[in-house]
Amino acid sequence: MGTYTNIAKRRAEQSKEAVTVSAVPMEQASALPTPTPLPKPVKRKQISAYLTPEQLRQLKSLHFMLNINIATDNTVEKSDIVALGIEALSILLGTQVPEYSNIQELRSFVLNKIPKYSGT
């Protein structure tokens, strides 16, 4: 079972245990914060990725930057960062299949589609 499933089950059990009779008067009860709904578990498939030392450094740096000001319950995982990169590349390419003979040519093609790198 996945980590998110276990967290969701644990939160559900805690919320069942937390149901107690409130000693707060009704007029004050409406001022109490409403509990946030539990997030639905996301199905994930584990893969292996071989990164260069520089790519690993960049991933760790992004992971740190994106989590520095986030509450512990809502951290951005490294897999989320990788997934976002895949989604961004997919959007950037669309249905276009560029001609390339190696990863450097593909990287150059992709970077030229980003205004900051293409000079436009």
Q: What is the C-alpha R_g of the chain?
A: 22
- pLDDT, residue 87, reads 94
Residue 105's pLDDT band, with cuts at 50, 70 and 90, is very high
- pLDDT, residue 42, reads 77
- pLDDT, residue 5, reads 67
| Alpha carbon distance 34, 12 (integer Å) | 15
The closest of 38, 1, 42 to 18, measured between CA atoms, is 38
The closest of 20, 53, 15, 21 to 36, measured between CA atoms, is 15
The closest of 13, 108, 103, 115 to 52, measured between CA atoms, is 103
> How confident is the model over 19-72, as pLDDT tens digits?
444 455 656 656 667 777 777 777 888 889 999 999 999 999 999 999 988 776
Average pLDDT, the chain: 80
CA-CA distances (angstroms) from residue 71 to 6, 19, 21, 77?
Answer: 19, 25, 29, 13
Which runs of E-coded beta strand occur in 1-120?
Answer: none
Q: Taking the domains of the chain in order of start, what are their residue ranges? A: 3-33+41-118
What pTM did the predictor assign? 0.58
20 vs 80 pLDDT, higher one = 80
The closest of 14, 60, 66 to 35, measured between CA atoms, is 14
